[in-house]
Amino acid sequence: PHERVNVKTQMETLLSPDVVQLLKMIGETAAAEKMNAFIIGGMVRDILLGQKGEDIDIVVEGDGISLAEKTAHRFEGTADVHETFGTATVTLPSGRRVDFTTSRTEYYETPAALPTVSRSNIKEDLYRRDFTMNAMAASLHPSHFGDLIDYFHGREDMKKKTLRVLHNLSFVEDPTRILRGIRFEQRFQFHMSKETTAFIHYSASAVSSLSRTRIIAEFQSLLKEADPVQSLARLDELGVLHAFFPGAVWTRQTKDVLKGYLDSPEQPKDLPEWFCILFCLYLTNPDTVKAAEAAAFTKKQKSVVQSTSFLLSLLNEKEWNSLGRFHSCVSRVSDEALFFAAIAADKKQAGFLLQYREKRSKLKPLLNGHDLKAAGLAPGPDFRDYLFSLEQKMLDEEITTRDEALHYIRQHE
Ligand code: ATP
SS3 label, residue 333: coil
161-243 has the same fold as 8-158: no
Ligand 1 contact via 41 beta carbon (within 6 Å): yes
Domain boundaries, the chain: 8-158, 161-243, 245-361, 369-410
More confident residue, 4 or 161: 161
The band of 117, judged by pLDDT with boundaries at 50, 70 and 90, is: very low
Q: Read off the pLDDT of each residue in 21-44 and give the average, rounded to a whole number.
A: 95
Which among 195, 271, 277, 199 is positioned nearest to 233, based on CA atoms?
Answer: 277
DSSP 113: S
Average pLDDT over the chain reads 91
The band of 304, judged by pLDDT with boundaries at 50, 70 and 90, is: very high
pLDDT of residue 52: 86
Q: Answer for the pair 39, 23: CB distance below 8 angstroms, yes or no.
A: yes
Paired with 40 in beta bridges are: 137
- Above 50 in pLDDT, residue 115? no
**Domain 8-158, what fold?**
Beta Polymerase; domain 2 (3.30.460)
- Above 80 in pLDDT, residue 266? yes
Ligand 1 contact via 130 beta carbon (within 6 Å): yes
Ligand 1 contact via 170 beta carbon (within 6 Å): no
Of 86-95, 111-120, 358-367, the range with the lowest mean pLDDT is 111-120
Ligand 1 contact via 62 beta carbon (within 6 Å): no
pLDDT of residue 84: 86
Give the nearest ligand 1 atom to 135 CA. Answer: 20
Ligand 1 contact via 42 beta carbon (within 6 Å): yes
Give the nearest ligand 1 atom to 126 CA. Answer: 20
Of 20-29, 109-118, 314-323, the range with the lowest mean pLDDT is 109-118
- Above 90 in pLDDT, residue 411? no
pLDDT of residue 105: 53
Q: Read off the pLDDT of each residue in 132-151 and give the average, rounded to a whole number.
A: 96
Q: Read off the pLDDT of each residue in 312-316 and give the average, rounded to a whole number.
A: 91
- Above 80 in pLDDT, residue 301? yes
Q: How far apart are CA 257 and CA 276, in angstroms?
A: 11
Architecture of domain 161-243: Orthogonal Bundle (1.10)
pLDDT of residue 374: 87
Q: What is the pLDDT of residues 321-333, one digit of tens each?
A: 899 999 999 999 9
pLDDT of residue 252: 94
Q: How far apart, in Å, are the Cα atoms of 144 and each of 64, 70, 159? A: 20, 21, 24
pLDDT of residue 380: 83
Q: Please determine, looking at this structure, whether the domain spanning 245-361 carries the CATH number 1.20.58.
A: yes
Ligand 1 contact via 176 beta carbon (within 6 Å): yes
For ligand 1, atom 11: residue with the closest CA: 42
The band of 2, judged by pLDDT with boundaries at 50, 70 and 90, is: low
Burial of 249 (0-12, 13-18, 19+ CB in 10 A): buried
Q: Which residues contact 196 (CB under 8 A, 6 or more apart)?
A: 163, 164, 165, 181
β 56-61/78-82 pair status:
unpaired
Q: Answer for the pair 47, 139: CB distance below 8 angstroms, yes or no.
A: no
H or E segment to which residue 201 belongs: helix 194-203
Q: What is the DSSP string of 290-313?
A: GGGGGT--SHHHHHHHHHHHHHHH
According to DSSP H, which parts of 49-121 are helical? 64-74
According to DSSP H, which parts of 4-102 are helical? 8-14, 17-32, 42-48, 64-74
- Above 90 in pLDDT, residue 285? no
What percentage of residues in the chain have a pLDDT greater than 90? 76
Give the nearest ligand 1 atom to 46 CA. Answer: 2
pLDDT of residue 104: 65
pLDDT of residue 360: 95
What percentage of residues in the chain have a pLDDT greater than 70? 95
With b for 16 or more beta-carbon neighbours within 10 A and e for fewer, the 109-134 pattern comes to eeeeeeeeeeebebeebbeebbbbbb
DSSP 15: S
β 97-102/191-192 pair status:
unpaired
Q: What is the pLDDT of residues 187-236, one digit of tens each?
A: 999 999 999 999 999 998 999 999 999 999 999 999 999 999 999 999 99
Ligand 1 contact via 134 beta carbon (within 6 Å): yes
Q: How far apart are CA 273 and CA 96, in angstroms?
A: 29
Ligand 1 contact via 174 beta carbon (within 6 Å): yes
pLDDT of residue 375: 84
Burial of 45 (0-12, 13-18, 19+ CB in 10 A): buried
Ligand 1 contact via 173 beta carbon (within 6 Å): no
H or E segment to which residue 176 belongs: helix 176-188
Give the nearest ligand 1 atom to 177 CA. Answer: 27
Ligand 1 contact via 129 beta carbon (within 6 Å): yes
Would the ipTM clear 0.85, i.e. be above it?
yes
Distance 260 CA to ligand 1 centre (A): 33
Q: How far apart, in Å, are the Cα atoms of 43 and each of 46, 52, 167, 187, 355? A: 5, 8, 22, 15, 52
Distance 362 CA to ligand 1 centre (A): 48
Question: Taking the CB of residue 234, how many other CB atoms lie within 10 A of it?
Answer: 22
Give the nearest ligand 1 atom to 176 CA. Answer: 27
Ligand 1 contact via 125 beta carbon (within 6 Å): no
DSSP 6: B
- Above 80 in pLDDT, residue 159? yes
Find the length of the chain. Answer: 413
Distance 39 CA to ligand 1 centre (A): 13
Of 1-5, 320-324, 405-409, the range with the lowest mean pLDDT is 1-5
Amino acid identity for residue 44 in this structure? V
Of 36-40, 74-78, 112-116, 130-134, the range with the lowest mean pLDDT is 112-116
Paired with 148 in beta bridges are: 138
Distance 134 CA to ligand 1 centre (A): 7
Of 65-79, 130-144, 234-248, 290-304, the range with the lowest mean pLDDT is 290-304
For ligand 1, atom 25: residue with the closest CA: 130
For ligand 1, atom 3: residue with the closest CA: 42
